[in-house]
Amino acid sequence: MAALPYRVFEDVLAADAKAVEARLDALLPTLSGNRLREAIRYAVLGQGKRLRPFFVLESCRLHNVDPALALDVACALECVHCYSLVHDDLPAMDNDDLRRGQPTTHKKFDEATAILAGDGMLTFAFEILAQANAPTEIILQLAKASGPDGMVGGQMLDIEAETKNFDSISAISSMQSKKTGALFEFACIAGPMAAGANILYLQKYAENIGIAFQIADDVLDVEANVETLGKATQKDKSKGKATFVDFLGLAEAKEEAKSKVSAASHWLAFYGKSADVLKQAANFMIERRK
């Protein structure tokens, strides 16, 4: 495996985000006066770091996957992620007014339109994969990562915690491995899956960065403000749900996140210097300020 030239994570992330944005814009044509299409474009375009698509594209670069296929897999994953945000923000779920510093989709449009926009984004994700002739394993794994054994199941555990709460670190970790971690894992293993390679190294990497990401989120929820995050803070606290910070304390939570980043980097040794940008990405998970 030839080593990739040294690249700066922030530059790669920005370039990948631009490419994903352009492809999504092309995949989602503007239909004037079509409220549903307008809501979908509002929810998908012009917002977010495109972190999950970055992991798809980088894992594909590591395995010499066709760039066109990689880009469409990244766009499909981003549609799933954006649908989940639209539904999470609804009054029946997290009841949020802001997302990425902008009015949430149900505030910009209305609740019924937001529900349908989310439904549309989820199904459109698999239309993208089918039209790209993505390998069956890719389609299957995104379905699993998105469904009751993945993100949706994790969201249900999160809702149940509003009355039962989490009784241990392992309970929070289990919920987050589904709600947040499942899509990160899919993103990271998309490359080796498409290439028919061993997924173990990037799967273990993903498990660790997923937990690090959530711990960092819990820390930001304590330390940041609405203006910085672009969304409400202290939501879990207001609902009586324990977080990693509640169990570990702020300082220890930060140390645990660093430990997970170190473990993630360990699993990249197989790729040598080619994985340098993924090491930088792991550090970004806990250094980000929003």
Residue 2 located in a structural domain: no
Within a domain: 1? no
Domain range for 214: 9-283
The pLDDT score that the predictor gives to residue 114 is 97
Q: What is the mean pLDDT of each run of 10 residues along the chain (290 residues)?
A: 81 97 94 90 91 98 98 98 96 90 94 97 98 97 97 93 83 91 97 97 96 91 67 59 87 93 96 96 86
Asked if residue 290 belongs to a domain, the reply is no
Q: Is residue 3 part of a domain?
A: no
Note the pLDDT of residue 5.
77
* pLDDT at res. 221: 85
Residue 272 in any domain: the answer is yes
Q: Do the domain assignments include residue 95? A: yes
Question: 0.85 exceeded by the pTM?
Answer: yes
Distance CA 70, CA 56 (A): 7
How far is CA 256 from its chain centroid?
20
* pLDDT value, residue 228: 55
Quote the pLDDT of residue 2. 67
pLDDT at 4: 80
- Domain of residue 216, CATH code: 1.10.600.10
Asked whether residue 242 is domain-assigned, the answer is: yes
Q: How many domains does the chain have?
A: 1
pLDDT at 240: 61
